[in-house]
Structure 1
Amino acid sequence: MLETPRQNTSEEPGKLDITDLKTGLSSQEAGSRILEFGLNELEQVKPESIWSILSRQVNSVIVWILAAAAIVSFFLGDTLEGFAVIAVILINAITGFILEYNARQSMEALRKLDTTPARVLRDRKIMEIPSEQVTIGDILILEAGDLIPADALIREVNQLTVDESALTGESVPSPKTIDPSQKDAPLGDRHDCLFKGTAITNGNAKAVVTGIGQSTELGKIATMVSQAKRTATPLEAKLDALGKVLIWVTLGMATLFLIVGFLRGQEIKQLIETAVALAIAAIPEGMSVVATVALAYGMLRLAEKKVIVKRLSAVETLGGTNVIFTDKTGTLTENKIEVEALRAAGNDFSVRINTDKGGGQTLEILKGDQGLIHSPEIEMLARIGALVNNAQLDSKKSERRELGDPVEVALLLYARASGIDLHKLYRDYQRQAEKAFSSDTRMMATLDQVGPDYFIGVKGAVEEVSALCNWENQEDRTKELEVSEAMAADGLRTLAFAYRQTDHKPGENFTQEEKLTYAGLIGFLDPPRKEVIKSLNACHDAGIKVIMVTGDHPATSLKIAKQVNLVGPDEQLVITGKDLEAFDFASLDDQKKMMECHVFARVNPAQKLDMIDFYQKQGDIVGMTGDGVNDAPALKKSDIGIAMGLRGTAVAAEAADMVLKDDSFASIVHAIEQGRVIFENIRKFIVFLLSCNMSEIFVVTFAGFLNVGSPLLPLQILFINIITDVFPALALGVGKDNKKLMKSPPRDPKQPILQIADWKRIVFYALVMTASVLGVYWYVINQLGLSPQEGNTITFYALSLAQLLHVFNMYSGKLRFFNNEITRNKFIWMALILCILIMFATNYIPFLRHILSLQRLDIQSLKLILAAGISPILVIQTVRIFVPIK
C-alpha cells in the first residue's frame, strides 16, 4: 500500500490518503474526489467584457473620421445627418462586436476539440480519460511523449527523464528517481516529483497525483500571469496597414480638393461637405472584421475535416507551403500493423491472423511448413514479443480497445493467436527491470522473474540485436541480415528477437553480461493508405514537393514510396542518416543530390532540423509532420508543424501548428487547399471592397473638380459602404469552392496581399463604375433637366446596384460567368437578396427615405438605374474575354 499526501485544500493539511499501486482508485472514490477537489483544470482567464469588445469597435482611425464627419455635420447645421452618422457608427460597432464574438466562439470550439488524454490505473485496469478527470490519489501511467496531466509523486520509475523547461527554464531534461528530495528543494531539484505541463522525454513511470488544477506548480504560476494583451495576426496587421494607407491618401486628396476649391472661389460649406464625403468614401468598413471571420470560419471548417489549426496566422502560411516532410508510418500508410512474416530456426513463414465472429483469433500459416505452427521456436518468438512490450489489449471482446505502440499491439495479437494466454503469462513472468527503446540503442529489453529463474527478452533492429547474440559462425548472422533486407525490400518492417534464461539475478546491464540466444525475425505489414496516391498527385499539380523522412529501413521506405507514386518505379536514390553525416551542405554537388532525393531513411532528429534549415535557406516554405517527442524540435522549426492526433504524443501536438485527428496525409493536402481558399477569399473581398470604395472616391472627386454638383451625400456613401460592401464581402470571405487553386504553384508569403496586377484591376473596376454612374448623373441633370435631389437619388441607387453586381466579377480564371466559385456560393445570393430588400426599403419607407435625402423613384428612374448598374459588369466581362484574369 502507498501513502500519498492529499491536496492541501481540506481542513486537515496533513491528512494522508492510501492508494494501492496495483489497483489504483476505485471509480466511486475517484468520482467523490472530483466532487471534493474539482476538475483538474486551470482557471480560465476571465473573458473579455462586452464593454471592452464594444469599445474596441469604436477605437480606430475609421471611427474617428466618421465621428469627425458627424461633428462637422452638426457644425454645418445638418443635425439629422449628424445623428445618422452616429447611428451608423453604432450599427457598425454592434455588427463588428457580433462578428468578433462569434469568431471568438469558433476558436473556443476549436480549442475544445483538441483535448489531452491521460492514462490512469482505476479498478485494477489502465484506462484513458480526459486529463480534466484526473484527481488526487490517481495512479498515473506515464511513458515517453506524454504531457504530465497533474503534479505527482513518483513511485515506480524506469530510465525517466522529463523536460521541465516550461517551469524551470532548464533546457536539459531532468532525470527522475524515487529517492526522496530534500525538503524545500527548488523545482529543478525535486527529482522524485512530476509537474503538470512538463513532458516525458524518455522512459516510463507510475506516479500518484498530489496536486491538480490551480494547486499545481503550473497553476500557481498561472495565477501570477496577468491577462495577455490581444495581438493582431500578421494578416490582420497587413490589412490594418492597407486600410490606414488608403485613409491617409484619401485625406490628402480631400485636403487638396479643399485647397483647389477655395482658390477657385467655391462655396466653403459645399467644399467641406464634399471633403467629408471623400473621407467617408475611403473608409473600408469591416475589412479587419471580415478577415477575422473568414479565418475563423475556415478554421472551423477544417476542424470538421479532422484538421485542428491552432493559430489564425498559420492559415496564411498554409497557402504558401511548397515542401512537405512527411513520415511514412501512419501518414502514408494505414498504421494498421499486423504480423505478416516470421523467420525462426532458419525457416521462413508467411502468416495471417484470422478473427472469428466471436472475436477469437487463430494463427494461419499461408506459406511454410504447417507442422511447425506450434513449434517451440515460433512459440518463443510470440512469448518474447508479448513480454518485451508495454501495449495493452482490452479484455472485453465486445469493446476491444488497444492501447500502445501499433507494433507492440500487433505482437500481442500474434501471441494471443498463437495460443498464449496473456493473463497467465503476465502472472508467471514478473517484470523486474526494463531498458526502454531509444534512437541510440534501437532496442528494448526487459528482465522478468519466472519462479526461481530469470528471463531476459530483447527486440529491436536486427543489426543491434544480432550483435548481442552467440553465433556458431558469422555466416549465420550474415544470412539473418540478408533475410531482413529481403523482408524490407518487400515493404515489411522487421524486428529481431533474442533471449536468455538464467538461474541467477542479472545486474543492471543485463543485456550485456552474457551472450543472448537469437530467436528470429518478425516482419510487419503496414499497407499504403488508399487515398495517398490521389493526394500526392494533387501535391504535384499544386507545385508542392513531398519528401519522405523516416527512421525506417531504406529498402522499406523506398518500396512504400514507389507504391504510393511518391517516386517513379525505377527510382533508386535513398539518402540515409549516415549519408547525411558526410554531407557538405555548402557543396553544390551535395545540394543537388539533396534537392533530387525524395526518400530519406534512418534519419535522426538533429538531421531533420538540418534538412528543414536547408530547404528554408533555399526560400521554401516547409511543412513537417511528426508524432513523437523527438519530432518536436523539427515541428517547431518548420514553417508549419503538423502533429498526428491519433498516434501522436502530446508533446508533438503542443509543438505543432496543426493537429490531424485522423493522421492522414490526405488531410494535410486538404488543409493546404483550404488554406489557399481562405487566403484567396480574403484577397477577393479586399479587391472587392477597395474597388467599390475607390469608385465612390472617384465619383465625388471627379464631380467636384468638374464642378457638376454633389452626386452623393456623405450619409449616402456611408450607407452604401455598410450595405453593398460588407455583406457581399462577408459572403466572399466564407466561400468554399475554388478547384483551380490546387492546379497552380503556391504563392510567395513574402509578397503583399495585393500585387500590382490587383491594383490595376481595382483602378480599372472603379473607373468603369465611376464612368457609368457619373454618365447617368450628367445625363439626368443636363439632358433630362431633373433636380439635383432626383439626380442624387438615381446616382445613389445606380452605384449601389453596380457595386452589388460587381461581386460577380470576382471569380478567377477564364470566362465562365455562369458557372464559377462565385455563382456556386450560396452566401453570395443570400447577401444580394438581403441588400436588394434593404435598398427597396430605403425608397418605400418614408423614414429611411427622409434620412438618406432620397426621392421616390418612377419608371424612368428605375430604367436609368438598371442601365447604370448593369453597364459596368457588361463592360468588365467584355474586357475579360480579351484580357483573362488569373
Structure 2
Amino acid sequence: MAVEHAWARETEEVLEALGVERGTGLSAAQARRRLRRYGRNRLRETRRRSAWLILLAQFKSLIIVLLGVAAVLSYAFGDWLEGTAIVAVICINAAIGFATEIEAVRSMEALRRMGRVTSRARRDGRLAEVPAESLVPGDVVLLEGGDLVPADIRLFEASRLQADESALTGESLPVGKAAAAIAADTPLAERGNMLFKGTSITRGSGEGVVVATGMDTELGRISSLVAEAEDETTPLEKRLDRLGRKLVWVTLALTAVIAGLGLAKGHDLLLTLETSIALAVAAIPEGLPIVATIALARGMRRMARRNTLINRLSSVETLGATSVVFTDKTGTLTENRMCASLLALARGEVALDPARGLLLDDRTVRPDDLPGLAQALRVAVLCNNASYDGPGEGPGEGPGEKGGADAQDGEDGDAGDGGGSRGTGDPLEVALLAAGALGGFTREGLAATLPEVREEAFDTETRMMATFHEQDDGCLVAVKGAPEAVLAACSRVVDGEGETPLSAQAREEWNGRVKRLAGQGLRVLALAHKTVADRSAPPYEDLALLGLVGLLDPPRAQVREAIEATRAAGVRVVMVTGDQILTAKNIAKAVGIAHDGVRTAEGRELKAPEDLSDEERERLLDVSVFARVSPKQKLDLIALHQAAGEVVAMTGDGVNDAPALKKADIGIAMGRRGTQVAREAADMVLKDDAFASIVEAVAQGRVIFDNIRKFVVYLISCNVSEIASVALASLAGLPLPLLPLQILFLNLVTDVFPALALGVGQGGPGIMRRPPRPQGEAIITRRHWLAIGGYGLFITVAVLGSLAAAIHGLGLHGREAVSISFLTLALAQLWHVFSMNAKGSGLLRNDITRNPYVWLALLLCLGLIAGAVFLPAAARVLGVVPPTGNGWLLVLGASLFPLAAGRIFKRMARM
C-alpha cells in the first residue's frame, strides 16, 4: 500500500502523502512514472496447468516407473514383443488420464467470463475513462452504483454509498461507506472509509484516491495466500504411492532371490535370467494403472453429468474419505440475497412467505385483516429507491450472481441481489419491495395516487430515510431506518385502536422485540409514518410507529437435507465465515449444523496452531461454528484438523475462500456464484451451486474407493498366483509353468477386463450409512493381504497341480504341458472375479453377479483366450498348443478349484 493505514488518516493527509490534488488528480506524466514504479493494476495470474504438465503427471506413479524398467529389461534381453506390449500399456494409461483431465481443464476455461473494466479518474484536471489496469496510487477515482471497485481506495466523499463486499469478507449485506477517519486497528470488514478491489458498488456515489493497486491490494494479499498454500497430495495418491513402493521392493527381492538360487544350483544363465524376468513381469500388476485411471475417469464423468467438475482424477476418490466439510456461509449455505421474513406489528407478527403470502399463526391473511399491516407494507414500498421485477427462478439464476470479485482484473460481473428475487438497487430495499408485493403493493401502483415530492436520503448520522408523498390532506411521510433511531423519533404507535401514545413501557417492549429479533440473526428495520401539511415539514419528528421488519439471507433449498445426509455418513459439517457470530449461529441452526448447546468461536479467539495448548486444540476441534474468521485463520483451522488426522473438504465461493480451498484436501467452489479466483484454487466446482451435490460426490468417492480396493485385491492376488507358480516350479526343478509373454498376456488381457468391470460397479445401498475410512488406512489392509495370500495360494495349487497332472497323468511335456498350466491359470483368474463380492452379500445374487460389465468381461476374455489357443499366429507367439479333450477337462476342473476353496475360505474368515 502506497500509504500505510490510509483508513486511519485524514483525507488531506492521505492526499498530501500521495502528492495529488483532489480537484485535478494526477498529470499524465505522473501517471506514467507511477505506472513504471508500481506496475500494472492486476493480479498475478494463477499458473494454469499446461497440457504438457498434465501429460507428464500421468507418468509419475511408481508403478508406471516400474513398468518402464520392465520394458527396458525386456528390450535389453531381446524380448521386443514383450517390451513393446508394456510400453503400449504405459501409453494407453497416459492417454486415458490425459484426455480426462484435459477435458476438465477445458470445462473450467468455459466458466471464465472475459471483459474489460474501465474507471472514471481525474487526469490533468479532467474526467477521463482510464483502463482499470492503468490506475496507479494517487489516482482520484469516481464511483457510483453498479461500478466495480478497481483498486483499494480511500474515500474522501460518499453520498449514500454502499458496497457489496461479500466476496472479500463474507458479509452478506451491503456495507455503508463514509469518509471520516477511523482507528488504525479496525478490522478489514469494518473499514467504512475504504473501498476494496474486487468488490462492487450497490448504491450511491463516492470519490476517493487510490492507495494500493495490483498485488498490494487486500485482494492481492489474499491472492498471495493462494499462491503460498501448497497443493496437498490426495490420500489416493499417497496410498497408490505406498503400494507402488512395496511392489518395487517385492519385485527386486524376488528377482534377486530366484536369480541367486538358480545360479547357486548351477542352472543355465539364460534360463535363470528368463525366469527372473518372468518373475519381475508377474510381480507388477500391469493393468492396475489403466484400471485405476478408467475407474476414476468414469466417476469423474458420472459427476460431470450431475453438474460437478473435477480438476484432478485422484480428487474423485478423496471425496469418499472426507471426514470434515468446512463450509462458508454466504452464497454457499445461504442464497446471498436479503429476504424480509417477518413483520412485527403491535397486534402480532406476520410471516412473509414468498410461496404462501402473508401468514398470521400459519394462516393466510390480507393486508386489511390486521391493524397497521397495510400501512407498514405501503411504507416499505414508498420509502424505497430500488426496483423489483418479481420473484426469481431460484438462487443463482437471477441477475445477482456474485460477479463483483470475479470481475476484478479484467472480468465483468453483476452486483445484483443474489438471484432469489429479481430487482436492482440496495438488496434491503429490493427485499422490502418483495414484501410489499405479497400484499399487492407496487411502486408503480402507489406512485399513481401518492406521488413522491421529496426525499431525505439515508445518512450515517440520522440512520433513517424519509420520503414525502402528496395526498389530498397534505403529505404522507414514509420513514424507515435503524430501530433505535426510528423509535426515538416516534411519539405514537399504530395498533388496534388507531394511533395511541408510545409510553415508556411500550417503548421498552419494542426495544425488547428488537433485541429478540436481532438475537435470531435478523437484520431489523423499523417502519413509521405521519401526515404533515406540506413537504417542508421536518421528517423525523412526531412519528407513528408501524412495526419492525426482520430480514435475513435465507438458507439455500435442500441444504438442511444435504447436511443431514453427510452427518449420517459420519462426516462433520463446520461453518467458517467472516460474518458476525449471531447471524452465523442462527443460519447454522436453520440448516442443521448447530443446536443450542453447540460450541462456537470467533476469529479473535484463534491462535496460530503452534501456539495452542492441548486443551485449546481439543476445544477448537469440537467447534461447529466459526465467525469473523480471516483468510489466514481459515488456513490455520484446516491445518489444525488435518494434523488431527481429518480429511478436510472446504466449500466456498468468494475470494476470501480461495487460500483455504487450495489448502484443503478437497477444495469445492461454486460455479455460478463462485469467483474466478475461488474456481481456479478448487479441486472441484459445482456448476449448479447445489450444496446437495456434495453428498452425491462423497457417495461416488466411496463407491470408487471400494471399487479400487476390489480390483487391486483381484489383480494382486492374480499376480501372487503367477509369482508363486513360477517361483515354486523353479525351486522344485519343474519346467516353468508360464512363459514371460504368457504372463504378460494374462496381466494385460484376461486380468484387466474383469478388473475394469469391478472398477465401474455401482456400489451397495449402505455406502452412505457408514463412517469415512481412517485417513491412514491403506488400500490393502492386513485383512486384505490375508485374502490375497489365500486366493493366490489356491490358484497356485491349481496351476502346479494341473502341470503335474499333465506331465505325470496325461504324459504331456514341453509346450503341451505348459499350455495346460497356462489355460488353468487364465480360467482360474477369470472365475476368481466372483470371489470379490461384498461382505455379507449372497452367494448367487450379489454386487458382482448383478454387474453386467462382469459378464461382458468374462465373455470377452473367453473369446480372447480361445483366439490365443486356436489362432495359429497367436498360439505360435504365446507358445500355446490346443489341449485334447482330457486336457480341457483337466483345465476346467483345476480352474474351478480356487473359486470353491476361496468361497469356503471367505466364509470361514468372515471376509
Q: TM-score, normalised by structure 1?
A: 0.69
Contact 1:338 1:526 (C-alpha < 8 Å) held by counterparts: yes
Partner of 2:76: 71
Partner of 1:89: 86
Instruction: Name the aligned partner's letter for residue 479 of structure 1.
Output: E
Q: Distance in 1 between matches of 2:432 and 2:92?
A: 59
Partner of 1:411: 432
Structure 1 residues 100, 475: CA separation in 2 closer, same or farther (over 3 Å shift)?
Answer: same
Contact 1:239 1:287 (C-alpha < 8 Å) held by counterparts: no
Partner of 2:250: 249
Partner of 1:60: 65
Partner of 2:566: 539
Instruction: Name the aligned partner's letter for residue 70 of structure 1.
Output: Y
Partner of 1:299: 300
Say which of 711, 720, 723 aligns to 1:694.
720
Instruction: Name the aligned partner's letter for residue 597 of structure 2.
Output: L
Partner of 2:513: 483
Is 708-717 or 294-303 further displaced after alignment?
294-303
Partner of 1:746: 772
**Do residues 521 (structure 1) and 548 (structure 2) align?**
yes
Deviation track 1:270-305 (CA, whole Å, cap 9, x = no partner) reads 222111111111222143343333333322322222
Q: Distance in 1 between matches of 2:177 and 2:593?
A: 43
Instruction: Name the aligned partner's letter for residue 259 of structure 2.
Output: L
Q: Distance in 2 between matches of 1:757 and 1:55?
A: 30
Instruction: Name the aligned partner's letter for residue 716 of structure 2.
Output: L
State the Cα distance separating 1:854 from its structure 2 match. Answer: 0.6
State the Cα distance separating 1:880 from its structure 2 match. Answer: 1.5
Q: Distance in 2 between matches of 1:724 and 1:739?
A: 29
Deviation track 1:102-156 (CA, whole Å, cap 9, x = no partner) reads 32344235425644588999xxxxxxxxxxxx999xx999979x8x99999x999
Alignment of structure 1 residues 530-569 onto 2, 5 Å: 535-547=562-574, 551=579, 561=589
Alignment of structure 1 residues 126-205 onto 2, 5 Å: 158=161, 199-200=198-199
Q: Distance in 2 between matches of 1:533 and 1:51?
A: 41
State the Cα distance separating 1:851 from its structure 2 match. Answer: 0.6
State the Cα distance separating 1:199 from its structure 2 match. Answer: 3.2
Contact 1:794 1:861 (C-alpha < 8 Å) held by counterparts: yes
CA RMSD of aligned residues (A): 6.0
Is 364-373 or 724-733 further displaced after alignment?
364-373
Q: Distance in 2 between matches of 1:355 and 1:531?
A: 19
Contact 1:466 1:477 (C-alpha < 8 Å) held by counterparts: no
Q: Distance in 2 between matches of 1:555 and 1:150?
A: 29
Q: Distance in 1 between matches of 2:435 and 2:107?
A: 39
Partner of 1:79: none
Q: Distance in 2 between matches of 1:366 and 1:556?
A: 31
Structure 1 residues 217, 350: CA separation in 2 closer, same or farther (over 3 Å shift)?
Answer: closer
Q: What's the secondary structure of 1:753's corresponding residue?
A: coil
Partner of 2:389: 393
Q: Distance in 1 between matches of 2:525 and 2:703?
A: 48
Instruction: Name the aligned partner's letter for residue 842 of structure 1.
Output: A
Structure 1 residues 310, 104: CA separation in 2 closer, same or farther (over 3 Å shift)?
Answer: closer
**Do residues 103 (structure 1) and 100 (structure 2) align?**
yes
Structure 1 residues 283, 609: CA separation in 2 closer, same or farther (over 3 Å shift)?
Answer: closer
Partner of 1:226: none
Q: Distance in 2 between matches of 1:733 and 1:141?
A: 56
Structure 1 residues 876, 349: CA separation in 2 closer, same or farther (over 3 Å shift)?
Answer: same
Q: Distance in 2 between matches of 1:104 and 1:697?
A: 35
Partner of 2:836: 810
Instruction: Name the aligned partner's letter for residue 434 of structure 2.
Output: L
Contact 2:326 2:574 (C-alpha < 8 Å) held by counterparts: yes
Instruction: Name the aligned partner's letter for residue 649 of structure 2.
Output: G
Structure 1 residues 468, 700: CA separation in 2 closer, same or farther (over 3 Å shift)?
Answer: farther
Contact 1:468 1:515 (C-alpha < 8 Å) held by counterparts: no
Q: What's the secondary structure of 1:496's corresponding residue?
A: strand
Structure 1 residues 64, 267: CA separation in 2 closer, same or farther (over 3 Å shift)?
Answer: same
Contact 1:716 1:852 (C-alpha < 8 Å) held by counterparts: yes
Structure 1 residues 613, 66: CA separation in 2 closer, same or farther (over 3 Å shift)?
Answer: closer
Deviation track 1:359-411 (CA, whole Å, cap 9, x = no partner) reads xxxxx971775375785443222334x43x5x8637999x9867513464543
State the Cα distance separating 1:702 from its structure 2 match. Answer: 0.6
Greater RCO structure (CA 8 Å; 6+ sep)? 2
Partner of 2:379: 380
Instruction: Name the aligned partner's letter for residue 521 of structure 1.
Output: L
Deviation track 1:502-532 (CA, whole Å, cap 9, x = no partner) reads 9999xxxxx9x99999764224588877856
Q: What's the secondary structure of 1:786's corresponding residue?
A: coil
Q: Distance in 2 between matches of 1:603 and 1:120?
A: 33
Q: Distance in 1 between matches of 2:728 and 2:332?
A: 60
Partner of 2:443: 421
Q: TM-score, normalised by structure 2?
A: 0.67
Is 537-546 or 613-622 further displaced after alignment?
613-622
Structure 1 residues 532, 762: CA separation in 2 closer, same or farther (over 3 Å shift)?
Answer: same
Say which of 480, 496, 517 aligns to 2:525.
496
Q: Distance in 2 between matches of 1:370 and 1:149?
A: 50
Structure 1 residues 646, 86: CA separation in 2 closer, same or farther (over 3 Å shift)?
Answer: closer
Q: Distance in 2 between matches of 1:594 and 1:110?
A: 36
Structure 1 residues 713, 577: CA separation in 2 closer, same or farther (over 3 Å shift)?
Answer: closer
Structure 1 residues 71, 515: CA separation in 2 closer, same or farther (over 3 Å shift)?
Answer: farther
Partner of 1:783: 809
Q: Where does the alignment leave 5 or more consecutive residues of structure 1 unmatched?
A: 1-40, 75-81, 122-133, 166-174, 179-193, 208-215, 219-229, 357-363, 436-440, 506-510
Is 239-248 or 686-695 further displaced after alignment?
239-248
Structure 1 residues 608, 92: CA separation in 2 closer, same or farther (over 3 Å shift)?
Answer: closer
Q: What's the secondary structure of 2:549's corresponding residue?
A: strand
Q: Distance in 1 between matches of 2:700 and 2:59?
A: 33
Aligned-residue identity in percent: 33
Partner of 2:905: 879
Contact 1:430 1:449 (C-alpha < 8 Å) held by counterparts: yes
Structure 1 residues 624, 851: CA separation in 2 closer, same or farther (over 3 Å shift)?
Answer: closer
Structure 1 residues 349, 827: CA separation in 2 closer, same or farther (over 3 Å shift)?
Answer: same
Instruction: Name the aligned partner's letter for residue 253 of structure 2.
Output: G
Structure 1 residues 422, 646: CA separation in 2 closer, same or farther (over 3 Å shift)?
Answer: farther
State the Cα distance separating 1:709 from its structure 2 match. Answer: 0.8
Deviation track 1:328-363 (CA, whole Å, cap 9, x = no partner) reads 78766788976453235776444566899xxxxxxx
Structure 1 residues 695, 420: CA separation in 2 closer, same or farther (over 3 Å shift)?
Answer: same
Q: Distance in 2 between matches of 1:524 and 1:116?
A: 32
State the Cα distance separating 1:554 from its structure 2 match. Answer: 5.3
Q: Where does the alignment leave 5 or more consecutive residues of structure 2 unmatched?
A: 1-44, 119-131, 135-141, 169-175, 180-194, 207-214, 218-230, 358-362, 401-415, 421-426, 492-501
Q: Distance in 1 between matches of 2:163 and 2:701?
A: 40
Q: Distance in 2 between matches of 1:487 and 1:53?
A: 55
Deviation track 1:704-734 (CA, whole Å, cap 9, x = no partner) reads 0011111101111111111023233333333
Contact 1:542 1:742 (C-alpha < 8 Å) held by counterparts: yes
Contact 1:349 1:369 (C-alpha < 8 Å) held by counterparts: no
Q: Distance in 2 between matches of 1:698 and 1:847?
A: 29
State the Cα distance separating 1:99 from its structure 2 match. Answer: 1.6
Alignment of structure 1 residues 752-763 onto 2, 5 Å: 752-763=778-789
Alignment of structure 1 residues 281-292 onto 2, 5 Å: 281-292=282-293
Structure 1 residues 119, 351: CA separation in 2 closer, same or farther (over 3 Å shift)?
Answer: farther
Contact 2:669 2:686 (C-alpha < 8 Å) held by counterparts: yes
**Number of aligned positions between the proteins:** 756
Q: Distance in 1 between matches of 2:355 and 2:643?
A: 51
Say which of 629, 634, 637 aligns to 1:605.
629
Instruction: Name the aligned partner's letter for residue 102 of structure 1.
Output: A
Contact 1:737 1:825 (C-alpha < 8 Å) held by counterparts: no
Q: Distance in 2 between matches of 1:539 and 1:244?
A: 34
Structure 1 residues 412, 318: CA separation in 2 closer, same or farther (over 3 Å shift)?
Answer: same
Structure 1 residues 547, 366: CA separation in 2 closer, same or farther (over 3 Å shift)?
Answer: farther
Contact 1:492 1:526 (C-alpha < 8 Å) held by counterparts: no
Q: What's the secondary structure of 2:365's corresponding residue?
A: strand
